């Protein structure tokens, strides 16, 4: 099993969620996060004064799935989250050694 973490622009959450739903993803965790990458934040002007915004709002999506679905899911996220501009985000893929459903005690793929 693998865990996919995708950090994307907040306005891209709905298209990504719909694409994953169409691919029969049974569950995901979504967290509102803040951070920066290469762009190191942005400069904004408010009431004539310029200031630096270091941490930009993002959304982190976490999904655990079987190894054979990783490629199709990452492609779907890329297709829906890409704008072609700086700040589109990143996808991280991690190995998952075990999953246990608390309610039933199921383990492995059955718990996902």
pLDDT in tens, 48-63: 777 677 788 999 999 9
Domain extent at residue 72: 2-110
**Section 96-100 average pLDDT:** 94
Beta bridge partners of 50: 45
pTM score of the predicted model: 0.85
User: What digits encode the pLDDT tens for the residues 28-46?
Assistant: 999 999 987 776 666 667 6
* Domain count across the chain: 1
Nearest one of 91, 110, 111 to 101, comparing CA atoms? 111
Tell me how far apart the alpha carbons of residues 94 and 53 are, in angstroms, rounded to a whole number. Answer: 30
Asked if the model's pLDDT at residue 71 lies above 70, the reply is yes
Are 4 and 92 within 8 A, CB to CB? yes
Q: Do 103 and 38 contact (CB within 8 A), yes or no?
A: no
CATH number at residue 103: 3.30.70.120
């Amino acid at each position: 099993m693998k865990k996919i973490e995708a950090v994307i622009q907040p306005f891209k959450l709905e298209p990504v969620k719909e694409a994953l739903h169409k691919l029969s993803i049974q569950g995901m965790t979504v967290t509102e996060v803040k951070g920066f990458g290469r762009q190191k934040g942005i400069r904004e002007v408010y009431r004539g004064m310029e200031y630096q915004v270091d941490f930009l709002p993002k959304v982190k999506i976490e999904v655990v799935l079987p190894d054979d679905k990783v490629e199709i899911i990452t492609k779907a996220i890329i297709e829906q989250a890409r704008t072609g501009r700086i700040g589109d985000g990143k996808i991280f893929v991690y190995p998952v050694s075990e999953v246990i459903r608390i309610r039933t005690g199921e383990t492995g793929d059955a718990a996902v």
